[in-house]
Structure 1
Amino acid sequence: MSKIIRIIACSISCLTLVSCANLSTELRQNNSVKHQQLELNSRQLVAVLERFEEAQQAASDINEFSIREYHLPALSDSLIKRGKALVGTPYLYGGSNVNTGFDCSGFVGHVFKEELGIELPRTTAQLIQMDAPVIARSDLEPGDLILFNNQGRGRVSHVGIYMGNDQFIHSSSRRSGGVRIDKLSNRYWNASYLQAKRVLTEEQIIPAIESGQLLSRVSQ
């Protein structure tokens, strides 16, 4: 073989090797790019799924909140209706039974438990200490608890349920006929007003709503 032919053959061989090397490098680069693209696509897919899940949860939260908010007025209406049905029930100190009579906190506790399934503290001292929002007098809504200092000793001694339109229902005393409706602006009760608390909050009614107890009661 002539020298020129050997040189040409060698050159072709070198070019072939270089081409193969370049092709191998290009394939590795392409595979790397594809792998990176797959990783990017995977991360984007995970991000999209996470946003979708968050959106679903947000929608669920909004819907749940709307359900709770929607039923609050109906709950206070049913609560007050239950209380009004007990007007005339005699006063009994320490009483919490419709058959024998109620004291003030016994009446309030009975109405909330029987109508809404909400357990309240038994005494006025416990009620004023309970973990519930304190409401300004100007912001009273039906269903709020009104606490009074009607014994002139600087501490809570009476409780009733606000009905709206300046009225509240309570088990007043043996002398005044037990369960009755009075005006908050009455001179005696106005002077005795101490504090108001809101029991009809989401924290209190969520368990009963989720169990279906409140909805079944309201629909009756």
Structure 2
Amino acid sequence: MEDGRGQRIVAAARGWIGTPYRHQGVRKGVGCDCRGLVRGVWAEVTGRQAQDPGAYAPDWAERSGCDRLLIAARDHCGDAISPADAMPGDIVLFRWRAGVSAKHAGILSGPDHFIHAYEAAGVIESALIPSWRRRIAAVHRIPRGPENAEPKTTT
């Protein structure tokens, strides 16, 4: 990303490291899940709140029959970019296996690392090892200006 923007996003995400894992949480230092981490960093870097996903169960992706995380990322950020073009500061979405909805999100912090909220550990920076890379469902870039920060309405 131009002008050090990606590094500013990574710095914001690193500010969440150590935040405990809390399902549906979105408060730095208090608790968040992976969606809450991305929403919190989004708010810090865009100055706007991302659309509230509403209440969701821990198994929401398995039960929904809809790829809600991918839809939300597209609505907020536009079309996905190629993982080969991913840069620090980009949002990365994961699916646990083929044929199921994407269920996990993080923020790339380098070519081989990402920051995410993980149930067993809270917000951490992890290596993007082959087992994580195989599970990448999409990569999205956080839009630049406020004119792009408002999510589109989905029906």
Q: Which TM class, normalised by the smaller chain length?
A: 0.7 to 0.9
SS at match of 1:196: strand
Gaps of 5+ in 1: 1-68, 209-220
2:128 to 161, 173, 184: 184
Whether 2:105 is the aligned partner of 1:159: answer yes
Inter-CA distance 105–207: structure 2 relative to 1 (3 Å threshold): same
Q: Which amino acid aligns with 2:102?
A: V
Inter-CA distance 190–115: structure 2 relative to 1 (3 Å threshold): same
Instruction: Please give the TM-score of this superposition, normalised by the length of structure 2.
Output: 0.73
Q: Using the alignment, how far apart are the partners of 2:81 and 2:50 within structure 1? A: 17
Q: 1:106 Cα shift?
A: 0.5
2:42–2:142 CA contact under 8 A, matched in 1:
no
Gaps of 5+ in 2: 54-68, 149-155
1:141 to 55, 73, 87: 87
Larger helix share, 1 or 2:
1
Q: Which amino acid aligns with 1:168?
A: F
- How many residues are treated as equivalent by the alignment? 132
Q: Which amino acid aligns with 2:80?
A: V
Output one character per residue of 1:68-122: Cα deviation in whole Å (capped at 9) or x when no partner: x8xx432221111121122111010010012430010111110121233143344
Runs of 4 or more above 3 Å deviation: none
Larger strand share, 1 or 2:
2
State how 1:200-215 maps to structure 2 within 5 Å.
200=143, 204-205=144-145, 207=147
Q: Name 1:109's counterpart in structure 2.
A: 39
Q: Name 2:153's counterpart in structure 1.
A: none
Q: Name 1:127's counterpart in structure 2.
A: 72
Inter-CA distance 102–152: structure 2 relative to 1 (3 Å threshold): farther
Q: 1:139 Cα shift?
A: 0.5
State how 1:1-220 maps to structure 2 within 5 Å.
72-123=2-53, 124-130=69-75, 132-150=78-96, 154-173=100-119, 175=120, 177-187=121-131, 189-200=132-143, 204-205=144-145, 207=147
Instruction: Please give the TM-score of this superposition, normalised by the length of structure 1.
Output: 0.53
RMSD: 2.4
Of all paired residues, the percent bearing the same amino acid is: 25
Larger radius of gyration: 1
| Higher relative contact order (Cα pairs below 8 Å, separated by 6+ residues) | 2
1:87–1:179 CA contact under 8 A, matched in 2:
yes
Output one character per residue of 1:169-196: Cα deviation in whole Å (capped at 9) or x when no partner: 11121x1x11011122342x12321111
